[in-house]
Amino acid sequence: MFWFIHCRAMIEKNKASKNRRPRIGVDFHTWDGIFQGSRSHILGLYREAIGLAPDMDFVFFLENTASLRASHPEFSAPNVELVPMPHRPALWRLAAQLPWLRRKHRIDLLHVQYRLPFFRFGDFAVTIHDVLFETYPQFFPASFVWQSKLTFRHAARNAQLLFSVSEFSKQDIARLYGIEPCRIQVTYNGVDTQRFHPTSQPDPRLDSMGLPHRGYLLTVGRLEPRKNHETLIQAYAQLPLNAPPLVIVGQRDFSYQPIFQRIQACGLEKRVRLLENVGDDVLPVLMRHARLFVYPAFAEGFGMPVAEAMASGVPVITSNTTSLPEVAGKAALYANPNDPAELARMIQRALFDGSLRQDMAAKGVERASTFSWPSSAKVLINAFRQRNYEEQGALPRPQGHLTDDTRV
């Protein structure tokens, strides 16, 4: 009798689990950190996903819940719950906070970026933006490289759903970690065209910063070696003295001291402006009022500032490496990121050729329109729905990775 009652209870529990609304948990701690691509990605993706899936409940874990809701009304929707998760070191978040919050809030699928929590109860979706530390280890701290080699590989092979942000990154992940490419879905970074768009009207906020309308060169990116600010500064030093000022927007990350040293060595203290605390409201203003956007990064998994600059109607010069040609297509000029002289020639060519800038700007707006958050959010939600069907036994579960004899 006891066995019959127990079995009956389990059947009823499984029915209830299958019939209730899916609960999607999201590690949203990047909202509390510095402005960077992973923060923009998760924000842009879920601003659209919430409205696309009113039949799903989304539970976001972060510290500054009030600021998120105040800044983005989408996170006040009926199918959204914001759960406080105090900011802690990554080890503590992965070892304790996320496993506990997942269990407490009955999460069916937890979406994280890059790494899985140490204690895994249930299914996971993981977005790995890139694995550049594998192919360009010289641009990362040694401690980051060795621990990422372990944790990223583990996440790629054990997540039930795996996403990346470009075809370039997808192929790198598949090749390096022995993952079937068809298992990796691409959720491209999008551009919010309500924020990033062309304009011909001056903005008083530029006056307060002492910057002229369409009168400066711009680059945007964290102050760290991979963004290649040093080569840009060397190239800028080769331009004529009547070249517009160079504006560098970015927060200090690691190994940033050589950037300041290079500015001093080139005698550019009065011609280079460095803005470290630029908010979400001011960045689009700086973008659309630049004469040129220059982004000579050594390597990128996507290169979101390039897409945002193109959407703003600003001509782009960028590197001819990794994902950047995939993003900019035929709309940009390209240079070798190791060659300051070549970069200087590209900048000078665009600076003093108005018809070229006009053509690049028009092509850039068209190119940027192909990267939209709604399109990527549809990919995300469709993957969530398919996973939910699989859990109900309607579809076969995907294999985690290739067998040993077929790995690259």
| pLDDT tens for the 408 residues of the chain, in order | 434 434 444 444 444 445 678 999 999 999 987 667 788 899 999 999 999 999 999 999 999 999 999 999 999 999 999 999 999 999 999 999 999 999 999 999 999 999 999 877 789 999 999 999 999 999 999 999 999 999 999 999 999 999 999 999 999 999 999 999 999 999 999 999 999 999 888 888 888 888 988 889 999 999 999 999 999 999 999 999 999 999 999 988 888 999 999 999 999 999 999 999 888 889 999 999 999 999 999 999 999 999 999 999 999 999 999 999 999 999 999 999 999 999 999 999 999 999 999 999 999 999 999 999 999 999 999 999 998 776 665 434 444 444 333 332
pLDDT attached to residue 392: 63
The whole-number pLDDT of residue 118 equals: 87
Q: What is the pLDDT of residue 285?
A: 94
Which pairs count as long-range contacts for 387-391, CB under 8 Å and 24+ apart, including other chains? 387/109, 387/123, 387/125, 387/160, 387/161, 388/22, 388/108, 391/18, 391/108, 391/123
Residue 77: name the closest of 109, 110, 98, 53 by CA: 53
pLDDT number for residue 278: 86
Which tokens belong to 332?
Answer: 């940009």
> What CA–CA distances, in Å, run from 307 to 17, 56, 101, 189, 329?
42, 30, 35, 9, 10
Question: CB 4: neighbour CB atoms within 10 A?
Answer: 8
Question: Which residues, 6 or more positions from 140, have their beta carbon under 8 angstroms from its beta carbon?
Answer: 132, 133, 148, 226
The predicted pLDDT at position 399 comes to: 42
How many Å from the N-terminal Cα to the C-terminal Cα in the chain? 55
Place of tokens 């192929």: 171
Q: Give me the pLDDT at residue 393, please.
A: 53
Give the pLDDT score at 391. 66
State the pLDDT at residue 14: 47
**Domains by residue range for the chain, with CATH:** 12-190+373-406 (3.40.50.2000), 204-368 (3.40.50.2000)
Distance of CA 233 to the CA centre of its chain: 25
In angstroms, the CA 159 to CA 111 distance is 10
Q: Give the pLDDT confidence score for residue 5 in this predicted structure.
A: 38
Residue 184: closest CA among 212, 217, 159, 220: 159
Distance in angstroms (rounded) separating the CA atoms of residues 31 and 405: 41
**pLDDT at position 334:** 98
pTM for the model: 0.85
Amino acid 372: pLDDT: 94
